[in-house]
Structure 1
């Protein structure tokens, strides 16, 4: 699934992405580390992997979107 980076805190390595419908979804350091990234800037397109649905939706991986 694709999303747009919205917030990122380098100290905690967590943040939020916006889904294409505008829904914000938080991610934690484990999801960020799983993608192998070092930094994330607001506005970057990312690829995410999730588990769960609705209010239980959880991001398990964040990485940069490549074309």
Structure 2
């Protein structure tokens, strides 16, 4: 699933993304830590894995989730 970063806190490594349908999902440090990224920026496109409405992994759109 793809989305756009709406908020990101480097201190907590968590934030929110906007889905293409306009709905918003939160992600926590565990999801971010799976990425291997050092930061996210507002407006950045990402790909993510969502299980039962919870973001379990998030990454830059050009990089794999695993």
TM-score (norm 1): 0.90
| Count of residues in correspondence between the two structures | 63
Unpaired runs of 5+ in structure 2? Answer: none
Aligned with 2:62 (options 56, 61, 66): 66
Q: TM-score, normalised by structure 2?
A: 0.92
C-alpha separation between the residues in 2 aligned to 1:30 and 1:65?
Answer: 18
Give secondary structure in 2 for the equivalent of 1:42: coil
Aligned residue in 2 for 1:43: 43
**CA deviation digits over 1:3-35, x for unaligned, max 9?**
001100000000000000011100000000011
Return structure 1 stretches of 4+ with deviation > 6 angstroms. Answer: none
More helix by share: 1
